Amino acid sequence: MFPAEIFRDTLSRLIGILAACAVRYHLTGGITSVAYGEPRMTQDIDIVVENAALSRTLDVFMAAATRAGFMFDEAEVRRAVADREMFQLFDMAEALKIDLYPREMIPGELGRSTRLEVFEGMLVPVVSRPDAAASKLAWASKGSHKSRRDLRQIVRHMPIVEREELDRLAAVLGLHALLAEILAEPDEIVW
């Protein structure tokens, strides 16, 4: 596992490619757990990208990614974008993995992104705090224990208006009961 700071160069190259292709995106996953919750190690970069824009510029995107030192399976990327499923890029220079999600897990999330300084002097679009929490909730519903703790940490720092938005999103996802269950769990084992 890596401290988030080592992702700066990888992220800089990738967001340059996304900007050149006019593909809307935002960071999600472990890096945002650090931004909204508590410091922790993460193993990769997770990015939600706008499917329609990526589909239109996929050949340009893949050519630029290759020039920038990213390794990937072209057929797998094409299939994943067509099926709106996650695909991976591997940064050869930094030996880091990037997971790209060519679809919104939480409906409308790309339109609610916020710009945060993830690294000193580097402002990038990041999933909103309520959408980050809703995403963690969705992953927890699929069995992710790490997402359960991340969710509690994110909610701990939420203003009331954002908590109300999370409650709304949990209801839309049909996960309101799971949200209550996770938030009632202790962070540490109690004897």
Position 21 pLDDT exceeds 70: yes
Residues of the chain with CATH 3.30.460: 4-127
Residue 117 has what pLDDT?
84
Identify the residue with better confidence: 68 or 94: 68
By CB atoms closer than 10 A (0-12, 13-18, 19+), residue 45 is: buried
Position 53 pLDDT exceeds 60: yes
The domain made up of 4-127 has a fold known as Beta Polymerase; domain 2 (3.30.460)
- In this predicted model, what pLDDT tens digit does every residue of 128-150 receive, in sequence order? 999 999 999 999 999 988 889 88
Residue 4 has what pLDDT?
55
Residue 77 has what pLDDT?
98
Position 190 pLDDT exceeds 70: no
- In this predicted model, what pLDDT tens digit does every residue of 58-82 receive, in sequence order? 999 999 999 999 999 999 999 999 9
Residue 109 has what pLDDT?
96
- In this predicted model, what pLDDT tens digit does every residue of 148-174 receive, in sequence order? 988 998 999 899 999 999 999 999 999
Rounded mean pLDDT of the chain?
Answer: 90
Least confident of 2-11, 55-64, 68-77, 83-92: 2-11
DSSP string of the chain, one letter each residue: -B-GGGGHHHHHHHHHHHHHTT--EEEETHHHHHHHT----BSEEEEEE-HHHHHHTHHHHHHHHHHTTEE--HHHHHHHHHHT--EEEEETTTTEEEEEESS-SSTTGGGG-EEEEEETTEEEEE--HHHHHHHHHHHHHTT-HHHHHHHHHHHHT--HHHHHHHHHHHHHTT-HHHHHHHHHS-SS---
Residue 42 has what pLDDT?
61
Please, which pLDDT band fits residue 189 given cuts at 50, 70 and 90?
Answer: low
Residue 2 has what pLDDT?
43
